[in-house]
Amino acid sequence: MPGQPRDAARLLRHRPRGGRLVTALEIAGLSVRYGGALAVDDIALSVPPGQVTALVGPNGAGKSSAVLATCGTVRSTGEVRLDGERVDGWSPGRRTRAGLALVPQGRQLFSRLTVRENLLIGADQLRLPARSVAAAEERFPILAERRSSLA
């Protein structure tokens, strides 16, 4: 049904103080083409603040293309908003600095270093302050529990 994804996305929004509709991440009308092949067709997704959302589907369904487009690493049409601000015109680096990043499935780790050392290297590469590692450990307690373990 035309419009159905957008209607479903509207239901996922929440009303914080002041009654204004806000989402942490909102994608509307996102489409990705590789040459003549349509990989993602007019998807919509809303992620409320503080929520973890999974994008699930079979191989070839366009999950990776949708995430890459959201992060700005492949060309797309549609809108991407982060905390209510439109970011689809931003560079991938600017989106990352704003908190929108792709974490690949592969285990691109330094296995002879600790979990914390790996996080510090990642933060340094992204030019993030060291306190961002503490923030990651707070958000994902398993990282703090394993900070001294080899990655």
Q: Tell me the per-residue pLDDT of 47-84, one tens digit each, with 9 for 90 and over.
A: 988 787 888 889 899 999 999 999 999 999 999 999 88
Task: Report the alpha-carbon angle 64-65-67, nearest 5.
Answer: 65
Structural tokens at position 112: 């002879």
> How far is the C-alpha of 50 from the C-alpha of 142, rounded, in Å?
17
Residue pair 135/143 in contact by the 8 Å Cβ criterion: no
CATH architecture of 4-99: 3-Layer(aba) Sandwich (3.40)
Query: Taking Cα atoms as reference points, which of 34, 92, 91 lies closest to residue 65?
Result: 34
Structural tokens at position 135: 């923030």
> How far is the C-alpha of 39 from the C-alpha of 31, rounded, in Å?
7
Beta-bridge partner residues of 110 = none
The position carrying tokens 């366009």 is 62
Structure confidence by residue, pLDDT tens digits, 91-145: 998 998 888 877 766 667 788 889 999 888 888 887 888 888 898 888 888 889 9
The CATH 3.40.50.300 domain(s) of the chain lie at 4-99
